[in-house]
Structure 1
Amino acid sequence: MGLFTADEPKRYEIDDKQLICVFCKNETFHTRKEQLHSPTRTILNLEWTDSTATCFVCSSCGYMHWFMR
């Protein structure tokens, strides 16, 4: 997948629970950060101030799981 680094996909736990893909039941993921844009900040050109989420992308099917704390 061209969107990720050359790092190998890994298994992750979130709140002491094994992360498992809800679509294909795979257990390994690539990670990436995604910015959450709001319409108001987009209009004002302030998107850089929006929150970010950690995304776990299934290494098998590509389904993206979003987590934000």
Structure 2
Amino acid sequence: MAKSVHAAIGEHPIHCLMCDNDTFRKREVKLNSTGMELFDLAWANESATGLICQSCGYVHLFVNRDLRFNRARG
């Protein structure tokens, strides 16, 4: 199972938009486009950081590279 993290952009902690939880699982998500898929170039699509809420499962996507992570306890 993936480790839980707390996330922030600068001094602003991130909370789930649905349930206000502050612990997430982190993973890279490809932002596939139809055109790139059509030409078999999906590997060249941009990626984002996906934060999956540990409480409700809502997925938040960020392309901001200034995200900071701290391991959540527990």
* Same-fold status (TM-score > 0.5): yes
Unaligned runs of 5+ in 1: 1-5
Question: Which protein has the bigger strand share?
Answer: 2
Larger RCO of the pair (alpha carbons < 8 Å, separation 6+): 2
| TM, length-normalised to structure 1 | 0.86
Which of 10, 27, 35 is 1:15 aligned to? 10
TM-score, normalised by the number of residues in structure 2:
0.80
State the partner residue of 2:63.
68
Aligned residue pairs total 64
Deviations 1:2-43 (A, max 9, x none): xxxx23312111132101000000000000001011111110
Q: Which runs of 5+ in 2 are unaligned?
A: 65-74
Runs (4+) of structure 1 moved beyond 6 Å?
none
Work out the percentage of aligned pairs sharing the same amino acid: 31
